[in-house]
Amino acid sequence: MTEPVSVRRIEWNDLSPVSPQDGGWTTVDGDATAHSRVFVENAAMRSGIMTYGPCTAREVIQNHSSIHILDGELTVTDEHGEHRLGPGDIAFFAPGQDVTITSRTRVREVYTTCGPF
């Protein structure tokens, strides 16, 4: 038998801080501390919500992952150029990609990362 659909209510005030060190990114400019809540986590994937303020951070992607922007605007820069994202946009990342993320506003996103972790 399969597991039931997992439904959660988003409570933006009930998020935990995530330091750049714990999140796997390096601060380039501003305060890159995020706040997050994991909703689903197992051996194959992790998914949740995250919010962060204006900042620039660099990350070398470790796992296949995606972000879906709910609010705010950001730019993802990789070896192919700049990619602007806003509400409703989705970005997909592959392991080994070296990206710089610059948020011009407070950003709220849904993220999914595939394991193993």
Model confidence at 61: pLDDT above 90: yes
Please name which of 100, 91, 94 lies closest in space to residue 59, comparing C-alpha atoms: 100
Task: Please tell us whether the domain made up of 26-114 is placed in CATH 3.30.565.10.
Answer: no
More confident residue, 92 or 14: 92
Alpha helices in the chain (DSSP H): 20-23
pTM value is 0.90
User: What is the per-residue pLDDT for 46?
Assistant: 95
3-state secondary structure of 96: coil
Domains of the chain by residue range: 26-114
For tokens 């070296």, the residue is 98
